[in-house]
């Protein structure tokens, strides 16, 4: 018989996994044996530890509940990627059109470092005195370009990210202990 009390009354033992004497409680030992623990292995045995667990009835057709004393379940569970429902995320992005500057009325002068092998000019023959000497051709400027502009319109993008998640079932069992649940079939004693 199982019952609930605020405090454990005389003649009752709390189901908290404690080891108790096999000779003091021979009737309980005959019922439980070492199903919930062998105690010290010779003179004691363990009572069920019902603390923090819900009870489920024995059901030999379900692996989780097929053995008396079996425990399982979890207080917390972190979903893995296969257990997250399949889904995508929308992506909507638009840069809009932009226009480059219209300023084109400007010129650039030319300055050449004499002896610099990186400077190659086939139009003028620059000659300078030693490495690092500079030579500026007076009045030689680039031609000014007229005002102009460019419009750059990057297309917008609408779509979805790749699909993720598998939608598989995930563990939803609270911590439990399998017990053989019974009801008294004999008449109750007065």
Rounded CA-CA distance 97/92 in Å is 16
Mind listing the pLDDT tens digit for each residue in 9-60?
778 888 888 999 999 999 889 888 999 999 999 999 998 888 888 888 889 9
Mind listing the pLDDT tens digit for each residue in 79-135?
888 888 888 888 887 777 777 776 666 666 665 555 555 554 444 444 444 455 555
* pLDDT tops 70 at residue 2: no
Strand partners, 16: 49
The answer to whether 175 and 52 have CB atoms below 8 angstroms apart is yes
* pLDDT tops 50 at residue 185: no
Residues in the chain: 190
Rounded CA-CA distance 35/52 in Å is 19
* pLDDT tops 50 at residue 167: yes
| pLDDT score recorded for residue 127 | 47
Q: Do β-strands 19-21 and 44-46 pair in parallel, antiparallel, or remain unpaired?
A: antiparallel
């Amino acid at each position: 018989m199982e019952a609930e009390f605020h405090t454990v009354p005389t003649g009752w033992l709390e189901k908290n996994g404690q080891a108790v004497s096999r000779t003091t409680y021979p009737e309980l030992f005959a019922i439980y044996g070492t199903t919930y623990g062998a105690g010290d292995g010779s003179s004691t045995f363990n009572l069920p530890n019902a603390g923090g667990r819900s009870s489920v009835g024995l059901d030999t057709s379900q692996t989780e509940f097929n053995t008396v004393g079996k425990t399982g379940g979890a207080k917390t569970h972190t979903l893995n990627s296969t257990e997250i429902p399949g889904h995508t995320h929308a992506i909507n992005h638009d840069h809009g059109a932009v226009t480059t500057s219209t300023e084109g009325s400007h010129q650039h002068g030319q300055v050449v470092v004499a002896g610099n092998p990186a400077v190659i000019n086939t139009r003028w023959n620059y000659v300078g005195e030693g490495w690092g000497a500079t030579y500026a051709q007076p009045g030689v400027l680039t031609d000014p370009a007229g005002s102009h502009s460019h419009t750059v319109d990057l297309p917008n993008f609408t779509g979805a990210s790749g699909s993720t998640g598998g939608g598989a079932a995930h563990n939803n069992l609270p911590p439990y202990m399998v017990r053989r649940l019974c009801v008294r079939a004999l008449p109750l004693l007065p």
